[in-house]
Amino acid sequence: MALSDYLITDDLTIILALVAAGLFLLHNLYKPQALVHPILLGRQSDAARVRNPSESAVYRNYGTGMLGRFPLRPNKDQQVVLDLVKPDADAPRTLWSTKIANPQLKERIANVGAGLTRAVGLVPQESNVLLLLNDSIEFIIADLALSALSVPTFTVASASVLSPVLERHPPSVIITDAEVLPHLLELIFDAHESEHHTIVVVGDINSAKLPKLNNVKILRWDDIETEGAAATKSPLSVPDPNDVYTVSFFATPSGDLEGAQLTHLNLTAGVAATRALLPPSSAMSPLDTIVSAFPLSTPYGRAVAYTALFEGTGFATVDSTKLIKPEGSAAIGLKDLRTSAAYSISSPTLLFIRPDHLDSLTEAITQQASKSSWSLYNFAWRHKLAGIFEGYITKQSLWDRLVFDGARIKVMGKGAGTVRAVIVSGGPLEAQNLTPARIALSVPVINAHSHPLVAGPVFATHALDLQTFPTASPSLSASAADAYAFTYLAPVGPPTVNVEVKLVGVDDAAVEDGGDPIGALHVRGPSVGRPLSVEEETQEEEERGWRSTGERAKVAANGTFKVAPAGKA
Amino acid sequence: MAFDLGTPVNTALLLYILYSIQRILFPSNSVPQIVPNEFKNGYTWMPKSHPPTLLYQTFTPKTLAYYNGEDGKRILLAIKGVVYDVTAGRNFYGPNGMYANFAGRDASRGMAKQSFDEEMLTPIDQPLDKLDDLTPEEIENMKGWMEHFSSKYIVCGKLVENDAI
């Protein structure tokens, strides 16, 4: 038979050919477009052209560049922390359970400031006030009032640091909660000090049975506020942005007490960096509601709270931020996240949470989704994962409507519809948990890195970055902890817009050969606070301001970092 | 009707259609084990190498002379103890350039006196030029050149005496 006999075409051929052509076009051209072009993800930080021996180059965010200036504040009007409460924004919003607008907030701040000065006799720049409050609007009011009075505030990141702080840095006044008061009085009693303490208590103390102490004067917050409202307020001098306005005490991994001295400039820069976490197309606005798992007593938590304050969003924190955790409480995971519902904020839109919250949220959603229909769930998962490999994720796809939306509503309630971005920090996040979280939530999940010295994030991934790298074989590293971290943890992205980092103690030979630099992480920038343990600064411009974080990090060729959490020294 | 396509063309088209349907309905879910080095080859990619970064080194006149640009080597020159990497200016400082004399040498005197002659360079095995006999205008001129070099090229080291290392 001739060749032409084989190539018989008939009507069926035409139909099949059309269908084949249609499928070809569908398969090759109907690919979802990546949310961010991959070329941008290949160069996420800008590296210096020269590096010192045994150090890596200095890295900055690519948007800022080595020659760019760091943003110091969200707007030129925000010079000191009190300016973050914008006077002309008068729409009310809910902070924890209080609905308040900025002018009323500023009034309350002024009242408390005047009341404290009268009742306690604070001397600007000399007195110190210890804020031992759980996260609440009183914390913010007290902090801002004292910043306006130029009285430094002390905060403790955890209750374990409290007794060393009382010992070594005795404050003039302590402002505390009725919940924390018994614990505090116990500590003072045990210390057998003869120093006179003045304690201002928020909340109802009549019902509590308190030990009687002679050297302790207890005042009530409500009394102070009403007194201050009645008093005439003299205009206060505006503090210098470089004045230390708060010190946050925390414990280093080796157990020592360390304090981060934060100036007004550190906090405004931290707010600028936190705002830059979200892309400009989906920036924060007064329509948002932020739920944070980071206590206000830490610089990062404070920066998040003040960003919420500045943007006019609603704000609440979860129960694990409390100083003294109540007995039998679930301090991690989904149960902790749900405690924010106790406040009267609207449904959250932005979540600043820890890896354990993200993991348990993802697990709950995927379990719920797979319960409905196992084969449909697998199908949906498969398609969503294929989309992620193309760099694309959306909450409005067919698979969400069929499978995931129902699961999300069961797990997150109203949050299923409102949560639009999740920022994870405060602990190591494993790479294998990140992609399932992205699929389950289908919103931008930003992996960030925070440090007790820095107001605001230190590193943060690009909001629309969906790259999934295979788990590489563990390479030789100095320690097992390093090897585990750099193999299994998710990258935390480039430095934020106003932080520069360098790695110290790198192997020069390996780096000159093209290997990834690995070393101890040092940071510098306007949002980095000054540790109390650093007494003198070196005079040289090049060396000044570098703070050791105590963590080890590794840079990849695309400018993203992986940080191994600080272990015991 | 019997399911008989009869012709190879139809069978081929049918197979292609089935293959396409399978690819569309069951997309691949495997993470490629080798990460591509170009963004054209995949959304998840990693550049082959880090951005180029020079190591700040300490040079002596003898070690500096090696970097004169011949055979594709880097071109370095020093002014007042500061070593600049001028490889980007190979047209000027490379082997056939106008200022090739300066490649791998201490060019301080030449920069100050605005001259590219051989007499401006001190031999490699002798101590560094002290520049004592320069007038203030010449020192100013040299400082101007140092600023120009700092902005145009990369500062990558310092120059010390031969016996200092």
CATH of domain B57-159: 3.10.120.10
Contact A46, A66 (CB under 8 A): yes
Contact B20 A556 (CB under 8 A): no
Residue B110 backbone phi and psi in degrees, to 5: -60, -40
3-state secondary structure of A246: strand
Half-sphere exposure of A179 toward its Cβ, with a 13 Å CA cutoff? Answer: 12
Nearest to B16 by CA among A210, A404, A190, A24: A24
Tell me, what amino acid is at B147? E
Of B21, B45, B55, the CB nearest to A38: B45
Gap between the Cα atoms of A401 and A355, Å rounded: 27
Interface of B with A in 127-146 (CB under 8 A): none
Backbone φ and ψ of A520, nearest 5°: -80, 135
CB contact under 8 A, A389 and B6: no
Residues sharing a CB contact under 8 Å with residue A363, sequence separation 6 or more, in sequence order: none
Task: Yes or no: say if A556 and A563 are a contact pair by the CB < 8 Å rule.
Answer: no
3-state secondary structure of A396: coil
Q: Is A3 on the interface with B (CB under 8 A)?
A: no
Question: Would an 8 Å CB–CB cutoff place A12 in contact with chain B?
Answer: yes
Phi then psi for residue A429, to 5 deg, are -110, 125
Q: Which candidate, A95, A90, A129, places its Cα nearest to that of A107?
A: A90
Q: Are A449 and A523 in contact (CB under 8 A)?
A: no
pLDDT in tens, chain A (569 residues): 566 666 677 888 888 889 999 999 988 887 888 999 999 999 999 999 999 999 999 999 999 999 999 999 998 888 999 999 998 888 999 999 999 999 999 999 999 999 998 888 888 888 899 999 999 999 999 999 999 999 999 999 988 899 899 888 888 899 998 888 888 888 888 876 667 778 888 888 776 666 667 778 888 999 999 999 988 878 888 889 999 999 999 999 888 899 999 999 999 999 999 999 999 999 999 999 999 999 999 999 999 999 999 999 999 999 888 888 777 666 788 888 888 888 999 999 999 999 999 999 999 999 999 998 888 999 999 999 999 999 999 999 888 988 999 999 999 988 889 999 999 999 999 999 999 999 999 999 999 999 999 999 999 999 999 999 988 777 666 677 788 888 899 999 999 999 999 999 999 999 998 889 999 999 999 999 999 988 777 777 778 889 999 999 999 999 999 999 886 43
For residue A521, what are the CA distances in angstroms to A45, A55, A139, A391? 15, 10, 32, 30
Interface ipTM:
0.86
In one letter, which amino acid is A461?
T
- Round to whole Å and give the CA distance between A559 and A62: 9
Partner-chain residue, chosen from A16, A53, A386, that has the shortest CB–CB distance to B55: A53
Angle at the Cα of B78 from the Cα atoms of B75 and B79, rounded to 5 degrees = 145
B29 part of contact set with chain A, CB < 8 Å? yes
A246 Cβ contact list (under 8 Å, min separation 6):
A143, A147, A152, A153, A154, A155, A261, A262, A302
CATH numeric code, A40-74+479-564:
2.30.38.10
Class of residue B22 by CB neighbours under 10 A (exposed 0-12, middle 13-18, buried 19+): exposed
Q: Is A469 on the interface with B (CB under 8 A)?
A: yes
Per-residue confidence (pLDDT) for residue B90, from 0 to 100: 87
Residues of B in contact with A512 (CB under 8 A): 55
* CA of B40 vs chain A CAs: smallest distance (Å): 9
Hey, which residues 152-211 in chain A have their CB within 8 Å of chain B? Answer: none
Q: Shortest Cα distance from A433 to chain B (angstroms)?
A: 15
- Structure-block tokens of residue B46: 């990693």
Residue at token pair 């110290």: A504
Reference A110, options A8, A15, A234; nearest CA is A234
* B88 in contact with chain A, both atoms CB, cutoff 8 A: no
Domain ranges of chain A: 40-74+479-564, 81-238, 266-323+332-460
Are B44 and A469 within 8 A, CB to CB?
Answer: yes
Query: A425 CB contacts (<8 Å, ≥6 apart)?
Result: A294, A300, A352, A354, A447, A448, A449, A450, A457
A47 CB near a chain B CB, below 8 Å? yes
The DSSP element (H or E) to which A230 belongs, if any, is helix A221-230
What pLDDT digit, counting tens, does each position of B19-50 carry? 999 988 888 888 888 899 999 988 999 999 99
Q: Measured between CB atoms, which of B13, B48, B51 is closest to A17? A: B13
Alpha helices in A397-515 (DSSP H): 398-399, 405-412, 415-418, 431-441, 480-488, 508-512
Beta bridge partners of residue A398, listed in sequence order: none
Distance (Å, whole) CA A122 – CA A114: 10
Give residue-wise pLDDT tens across range B90-133: 888 888 888 888 888 898 988 888 888 888 888 888 888 888 88
Tell me whether residue A197 is exposed, middle or buried, using C-beta atoms within 10 angstroms of its C-beta: 0 to 12, 13 to 18, 19 or more: buried
Nearest CA to CA, how far is B65 from chain A (Å)?
A: 20
Model confidence at B4: pLDDT above 60: no
Mutating which of A6, A16, A466 best tests the B interface, going by the most B Cβ atoms within 10 A? A16
3-state secondary structure of B83: strand
pLDDT value of position B1: 39
Contacts of B155 in chain A (CB under 8 A): 50
Report chain B's terminal Cα–Cα distance, integer Å: 93
Q: For residue A2, what pLDDT is reported? A: 64
From chain B, pick out residues whose CB is under 8 angstroms from the CB of A42: 39, 45-47
Residues in chain B: 165
A20 touches chain B (CB under 8 A): yes
Q: Which residues contact B103 (CB under 8 A, 6 or more apart)?
A: B67, B68, B69, B75, B76, B77, B86, B93, B94, B95, B97
Torsion of CA A560, A291, A355, A435, to 10 degrees: -60
| Three-state secondary structure of B86-113 | CHHHHHHHCCCCCCHHHCCCECHHHHHH
Rounded to whole angstroms, how far apart are CA atoms A178 and A176? 7
| B154 contact residues in A (CB cutoff 8 A) | 49-50
A424, amino acid identity: V
Work out the minimum CA distance from B132 to partner chain A, whole angstroms. 28
Locus of tokens 């379990």: A367
* Domain A81-238 class, CATH top level: alpha beta
Query: What CATH architecture does domain A266-323+332-460 belong to?
Result: 3-Layer(aba) Sandwich (3.40)
Six-digit token string for A125? 């720049």
Bin A66: left if φ > 0, else alpha if -120 < ψ < 50, else beta. Answer: alpha
Chain A residues touching residue B20 (CB < 8 angstroms):
20, 23-24, 26-27
Question: How do beta strands A173-177 and A197-202 pair?
Answer: parallel
Task: State how far the Cα of A175 lies from the Cα of A198, in Å rounded to an integer.
Answer: 9
A–B: how many Cβ contacts below 8 A? 129
Query: A310, A266, A151: which is closest to A528 by C-alpha?
Result: A266
CA distance A365 to A127: 50
* Mutate which: A27, A30, A66, A377, vs B, most B CBs within 10 A: A27
- Asked if the C-beta of B3 comes within 8 angstroms of chain A's C-beta atoms, the answer is no
Question: Distance from A564 to chain B by nearest Cα, in Å?
Answer: 21
Measured from the Cβ of residue A277, the count of other Cβ atoms closer than 10 Å reads: 26
- Report the C-alpha gap between A85 and A267 in whole angstroms: 13
| B-interface mutation test, from A35, A389, A511, A558, most B Cβ less than 10 A away | A389
Say if residues A523 and A551 touch (Cβ distance below 8 Å). no
Q: Does A39 touch chain B (CB under 8 A)?
A: yes
Set of chain A residues whose Cβ sits within 8 Å of the Cβ of B50: 47, 511, 514, 516-517, 555, 557
Residues A50 and A133: their CA atoms lie apart, in Å, by: 47
Run of H or E residues at A93: strand A93-95
* Pair of tokens at residue A163: 């007794």
How many whole angstroms from its chain centre is CA B73?
A: 11
Task: Tell me how far the alpha carbon of residue B56 is from its chain's centroid.
Answer: 14
Does the distance separating the beta carbons of B156 and A50 come in below 8 Å?
yes
Please identify which residue in the block is written with the tokens 């000054």.
Answer: A530
Supply φ then ψ for residue A360, to 5 degrees: -70, -30
Shortest distance between the Cα of B86 and any Cα of chain A, in A, equals 13
DSSP for A441-461 reads: H-S-EEEEE--TTBSS-SEE-
Residues 6+ apart with CB under 8 A from A530: A244, A260, A261, A547
Of B14, B33, B46, the CB nearest to A558: B46
Residues of chain A in contact with residue B9, where contact means CB-CB under 8 angstroms, are 6-9, 13
Cβ-based contacts of B87 with chain A (< 8 Å)? none
Q: Using the beta-carbon criterion (under 8 Å), do A49 and B43 form an inter-chain contact?
A: no
Give the other-Cβ count within 10 Å of A545's Cβ. Answer: 17
Fold matches, A40-74+479-564 and A81-238:
no
